[in-house]
Structure 1
Amino acid sequence: MNNEFQLKLQLYKEGKLKQKEVEEIECEIDKFIAIMDYLNEEDKAFWKELKQQLPTGNGEETKLAKPLKRKVNLRILMMTAISVFSALIIIIFLYFLSSNIVSSLFGLTFKESYVKRDAMVQLTQIFHPQYDSHKSSVEKSLFAQQKICVSLDNTVGNTVIDETEVTVKYSFGKPVKSETAVFPLLPMDGFALLSDQESDPISGFKILEDTPQGTTAKIFIEFNKALTPQQLKENFITQMNTVGTTTLEITPLAAIGSEFVLANPSYYMFTPVFPYDSDNTNGLEGNDLRQNQYESMNDTAHKESFIGNLNLIKSNQELLQVMYYEDMFENINIDDLIKHVENNGVEYVGVYISANSKELLKLKDNPMIHCLRVENIVVW
């Protein structure tokens, strides 16, 4: 605590404290000086009075001195207690004031925390397409320590299959530690286009055929060739939308190099800047139109969304290395990937689909399916 007090005095001498902080510390110092002056004056008056009352003889006069001695001891104890209490008050005040100063100088501001949290939500949706993220939070503690937490749940229909969370600790505005157990990414060797796997488009449908009417299933489909967003719509979504009552949820998957398989969540729903500043309003205009184009599987909208997500990965490599592992980008040149997508668009190698189990059987003879796997089946 002595070092913190020296730091506070140094900042005060150098004039680096805010006016409000200067006034607060000067006020506390004035209070302490006033208390000490008062105690010193009381002490002088007390000793003067005591000196006048002390007897000059022996015997009975000595007996009178004993109560005075006790009074002196009590006075000393009282003065010591007041001094300790006053010092403790000042130390506690300086501790929290130092914490506030350090946090304001080196920690994430409210706006920065908002953007960092939103970026972490988007990144978890990119790297964990089997989960949805509906909740996130920022926790603050003393001396520029913060935690960003993103809750993830795997939901089919109205049933939560499993849920988890990703938590990253920030210190002085930098991600330093993941407080989440190892969270596996999608394996590359599970995709036919990226490994030598035999085609199996039938066995998954046998499970769907045996499901009761009214159940909802989540399936994972590997394509036998890469598809553009428009091709995915023509070969799968249009085929599934023949019944208006069908609730259809899709999450297309793209590969980056030979390292990762990622989702392409809409970048138009992500806010890379604090959205409530008037200076940032213009940058977010037009997102509603782009979102509508994205939902209708427009090739250009999906390409621009994927480029935005790749740029987000590029600018948050330090965070991702804390969340997963240190050398995860060792063999990846993200600039080359962005350039490739700019020239060729985004191509999907697979998709997650959630829909009525019987409606999914309409895909049984789809020639684009290399393999189908049933992830979950729920009644409600």
Structure 2
Amino acid sequence: MSRRYARALVYPAPNHPPEIRRYPIPDLEPGAVLLRVLASEICGTDVHLFHGRLQGVPYPLIPGHVSVGIVEEKNGAVYDVEGRPINLGDRVTFLDVHATCNNCWYCLVAKATTRCPHRRVYGITYGAEDPPGLAGGWSEYLYLRPNTKLLHLPTEVSAATWMGGGCGLPTATHAIELAQIRLADRVLIQGSGPVGLSCAALALLSGAGWVGVVGAPELRLQLARRFGVDATFNIQTTTLQERQNAIKSLTGNRGPDVVIEASGNPQAILEGCELVRDGGRYVIVGQYTDNGDVLINPHLHINRKHLEIRGCWGSDFSHFYRAIEILKRFESRIHWSHFISRSYQLDEVPNALEDVEQQRVIKALITPNGPIDS
């Protein structure tokens, strides 16, 4: 190929202004794939990375862990999970988690690959200077190392639809899996960002009898109501007591059967423990970074309530695979593509980060090579 350099957006160090840098496009090792990036998302993790809130991150860093692109080059035969060959020109995405060993106790015994100590993540734990480089989606080209798990996007799922689901939909798929929602269960979601909205949508698709969302700003709650949630509660305009009274009244005066926390605010944990019914289930997926402590009473909030609490960390390949199947079947009902508020070019990243952090947008995309298909 004639072009041997790629422009990429880089975090030089925590809390330092992002920079656009040029990186050489390396020769591909056997089994590697080079993607021309169509889009990569900005999620809350990328804001945390900018502020240095995650441990073990190698700066300088090219962010962008969930992306979609066109196969520009490959070295040798590469296949997807269905055994179909990955060909030049194919539109694909990939599991951002790489190098899970499938050989340690967590992989083989606990069946918890998200806790594999060897796992690395594109756009998070592969640094810009780690050879062969170009390991984040905020770049014109993305180098996918051998054994990266690629997935074809079916014709029914546009690039915009996939990115509307983005990181949030596979994460929500994992949370819903742990929630074990039964038909007619009453389900409350804490948080109205992309993960929370996807959890609400999947709760509806799982047969919940009632779904409520607690969050803000109103822009996000409006979207939740559009795709069918039964009630929303704006934390900016209601008090804790008002929310508790309303939610209890709407859930048989017992409280929701299942509560899923997707807010990232530690204070939500106390509220969630108080809202969920006795004998209910509480899934915590939003505490991806350490935002501080919260005080709960083990007797009142857990033991006497006979409460089941489950933590949910990240997602694995099955959740990415299922996310594509969900979009293929249900995009016409939920419209994940409507989660996208705006796309930004590489030189607009500082504005994009501010918009995400200030919750001016629901989902922001980085499109390094121009607009993508809708």
- Identify the TM-score tier after normalising by the shorter chain: under 0.3
- Bigger Rg, structure 1 or 2: 1
What is the TM-score when the length of structure 2 is the normalising length?
0.18
